[in-house]
Structure 1
């Protein structure tokens, strides 16, 4: 069997997750250390806040700014991200553009793109202020689940080269139903007076079932696309952008050769009452890739 890097679907949540004590914060650190211990070559990440608009349903952009600025992580202690500098991977970015264009995708470079929190939170949570080289991919604003799954499938071969592919979004993410009063008044994103709505809880269980009961392979790709027709999808996701990055991740682990690969829900926490910040890992780092310094440590 071909050795492949795992694929992640991470709910990036708010920047408060970087400082508040939770399983998610601890799990992010574990994921990052695990990647470093196995010689990760770079990270290819699709967030949820960068969407390529217009009339072209096959167009996306790749971040190719050599000196990008970045958004302040205002919901967390500034000391957590103090000294953080983006580490854009322009060489891999161009390679990603070429791979996508050769497959019929209208991919182009964005040389002015500045990093946003949908990528930053996950990157800082995993690697701290010094990350591996990063390639950021936009979504297409038509949010076609099959198209975004195909993007992941096109880039799947990079997993053989120790690239970590990440979709950053949300398990449930409906800003029309979030409750901010405890966050704004007491800086507590976990507080809630009542449990999440039944519809949100039902969808949260459905996405876990699709990931964990199907595992990797074509069933995962089809299952996540089908969930956009779930009767409670719109209750759980007021808009589509925090969901289709899951389809991107599924595409990167959605071939027949991926069948039998275990998918785990490693951690989750509820924020702002309605946001379920689930963290999924598809596959494992091959033991043979573990670097000697990590073994001896």
Structure 2
């Protein structure tokens, strides 16, 4: 998704341009590859983070992009989460992973805005992560952009790796996506586009009980960012604001991008 052009990348750029036009103060983002064990959640406070390498992507695509950790906002997020009872702590050694900086490079190629990264919790409780988003929702009123970075369908065990390994072509579609992937993808779109306010939160958490959820997500990590977004955009004050399908791509014969009125 970082190495090749695609519809989702073009849409992320549009979102970034709109965010800059509205003078955003910063970004608060939850990705799909950083989780804390036990009952904890962490907030990145490394002042000079490195980047984890991206497989199959040449370093020239990302190595020189300067990261911009927002330490003051990180402290504020920690305080807000602590006030709501979360066992949260700073992590001054965390290095950024492609699930976050990939999005930022696509959205803000001219320079990374001040950014705070929030971890998941490894128990992957959907209601826990909705509450994280709900707790940080007031930052929207201060012109922060809240982003959840994950995949609507993400099952590495069912990927078709041949085209990538042979041709380095992650978008090759030698066979169409299978019924289990298409069905769950449709369920996700239906929830996002037909629910608002608290119904959006309930609908997103309920998707983890969908009969095809475990087929679509062999692990829960890529779905928790959706819970974070539902919490951030699912308050009573958000009633009447519905998500839309803006871009979609399938990678290795699985879906990698489904975008709502927030980023996910």
User: Which residue does 2:163 correspond to in 1?
Assistant: 182
- C-alpha displacement of 1:75: 3.0
Once the two structures are superposed, the pairs formed by residues 141-152 of structure 1 within 5 Å of their partners are: 141-152=122-133
Higher relative contact order (CA 8 A, sep 6+): 1
- C-alpha displacement of 1:276: 3.7
Is this contact kept in 1: 2:181–2:216, CA < 8 A? yes
Once the two structures are superposed, the pairs formed by residues 114-193 of structure 1 within 5 Å of their partners are: 114-128=95-109, 130-193=111-174
Q: 3-state DSSP class of the match of 1:242?
A: coil
Structure 2: segments with no counterpart, 5+ residues: none
Q: Deviations over 1:133-157 (max 9, x none)?
A: 0000000001000010000001111
The structure 2 residue matched to 1:32, chosen from 16, 26, 36, is 16
User: Which residue does 1:243 correspond to in 2?
Assistant: 223
User: Which residue does 1:275 correspond to in 2?
Assistant: 255
Once the two structures are superposed, the pairs formed by residues 86-105 of structure 1 within 5 Å of their partners are: 86-105=67-86
Q: 3-state DSSP class of the match of 2:155?
A: coil
Is this contact kept in 1: 2:192–2:242, CA < 8 A? no
User: Which residue does 2:29 correspond to in 1?
Assistant: 45
Greater Cα shift, 69-78 or 262-271? 69-78
Quote the Cα distance in structure 1 between the aligned partners of 2:149 and 2:29: 7
User: Which residue does 1:211 correspond to in 2?
Assistant: 192
Is this contact kept in 1: 2:248–2:255, CA < 8 A? no
- C-alpha displacement of 1:43: 0.3
User: Which residue does 1:262 correspond to in 2?
Assistant: 242
Q: 3-state DSSP class of the match of 2:41?
A: strand
Q: Deviations over 1:223-252 (max 9, x none)?
A: 010000000000101110100110100000
Quote the Cα distance in structure 1 between the aligned partners of 2:17 and 2:55: 25
TM-score normalised over the length of structure 1? 0.85
Quote the Cα distance in structure 1 between the aligned partners of 2:262 and 2:170: 28
1:228 aligns with 2:208: yes
Is this contact kept in 2: 1:218–1:254, CA < 8 A? yes
Is this contact kept in 2: 1:84–1:129, CA < 8 A? no
Is this contact kept in 1: 2:147–2:262, CA < 8 A? no
Quote the Cα distance in structure 2 between the aligned partners of 1:105 and 1:231: 31
